[in-house]
């Protein structure tokens, strides 16, 4: 199976959650998604990101549970790597940034033609939250691929139109409930009727749109209707990276057939839900790394069997 292109941040982070402070650990949007792809048993993640003078590709690769492709990484000898430090509230749904180092993103301009020439077989791309200009460039160059994209309120606040443009050239788009409201200016809580969101799918040409609700699960909208996927109950230590693990699991499962097949979507979201629930149980990628394949498979079946609400939109 060909590599899955993963665009996003990689670096280090520190999190203050309720009563617990992590050491400085490895993290970043692409980091968590790549680990989830590995645990989903799919292809290697092809990491497309920027590293600073304080982190080498080999050092980063050693932090994963399996082999990753680092040929899409670019180093900047003048700046430090991505760093994020934040404090979560009791619900783990809201965080306050304490420190942020992301100057690498400003000048990050991958050679998309070289990447395409080096990896002509790529069929799936996951574009984690990043500067929309870079995401748009990647999605445009790999227009023949299935592209699953995400964003953050941080980027919506700086370039809302760019994020909307990204949704318009992606195949799949994943947003939180708050991000959905910021982009489309109305609410989409759990059990939102299909007719409320169908127009967005049509205008953007999306195959699927997923709205996530943290520990309340997620709702999937596609061209045939909508369904709600309950979350798995678990004790949360750090919710950082849960959304990336969720999306990484989805794109990994969809990629196993070599092309997008709607019939694989429900199982893909069930797998993403499992990986997200594992991600929150420890700092960095520790819980994902520890989980056995048999445990992941059993949890996926549990989630799959819990999906009972569908709205065909007719």
Q: Does residue 229 contact residue 309 with C-beta atoms inside 8 Å?
A: no
Of 153, 165, 18, nearest in space to 92 by CA: 18
Rounded Cα distance between 284 and 267, Å, is 25
Average pLDDT of span 151-170: 97
pLDDT of residue 281: 92
How much is the mean pLDDT over the chain?
94
pLDDT score, position 1: 66
Q: What pLDDT does residue 235 have?
A: 86
Identify which of 283, 254, 291 has the alpha carbon closest to the alpha carbon of residue 270: 254
Query: Is the pLDDT assigned to residue 94 strictly greater than 80?
Result: no
Candidates 89, 13, 86, 3; CA nearest to 47 is: 3
Mark 46-79 as b/e (b = at least 16 C-beta within 10 Å): bbbbbbbeebebeebbebbeeebbbebbebeeeb
Give pLDDT, residue 217. 94
Residue range 264-277: average pLDDT?
96
pLDDT band at residue 50 under the 50/70/90 scheme: very high
pLDDT digits (tens, 9 = 90+) for 203-213: 999 999 999 99
């Amino acid at each position: 199976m060909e590599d899955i292109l993963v665009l996003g941040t990689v670096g280090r982070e520190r999190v203050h959650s309720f009563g617990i402070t992590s050491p400085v650990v490895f993290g970043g949007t692409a980091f968590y998604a790549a680990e989830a792809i590995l645990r989903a048993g799919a292809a290697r993640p092809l990491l497309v990101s920027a590293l600073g003078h304080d982190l080498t590709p080999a050092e980063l690769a050693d932090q994963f549970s399996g082999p990753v492709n680092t040929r899409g990484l670019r180093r900047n000898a003048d700046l430090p790597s991505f760093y994020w430090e934040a404090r979560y509230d009791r619900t783990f749904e809201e965080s306050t940034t304490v420190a942020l180092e992301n100057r690498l993103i400003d000048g990050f301009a991958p050679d998309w033609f070289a990447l395409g020439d080096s990896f002509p077989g790529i069929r799936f791309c996951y574009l984690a939250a990043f500067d929309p200009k870079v995401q748009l460039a990647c999605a445009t160059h790999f227009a023949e691929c299935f592209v699953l994209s995400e964003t953050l309120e941080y980027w919506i606040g700086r370039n809302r139109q760019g994020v909307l443009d990204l949704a318009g050239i992606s195949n799949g788009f994943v947003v939180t409930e708050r991000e959905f409201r910021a982009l489309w200016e109305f609410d989409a809580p759990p059990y939102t009727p299909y007719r409320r969101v169908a127009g967005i799918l049509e205008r953007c040409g999306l195959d699927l749109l997923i709205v996530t609700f943290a520990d309340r699960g997620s709702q999937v909208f596609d061209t045939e209707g909508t369904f709600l996927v309950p979350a798995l109950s678990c004790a949360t230590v750090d919710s950082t990276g849960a959304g990336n693990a969720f999306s990484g699991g989805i794109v990994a499962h969809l990629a196993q057939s070599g092309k997008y097949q709607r019939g694989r979507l429900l199982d893909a979201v069930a797998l993403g839900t499992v990986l997200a629930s594992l991600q929150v149980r420890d700092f960095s990628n520790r819980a994902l790394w520890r989980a056995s394949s048999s445990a992941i498979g059993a949890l996926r079946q549990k989630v799959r069997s819990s999906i009972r609400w569908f709205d065909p939109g007719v």
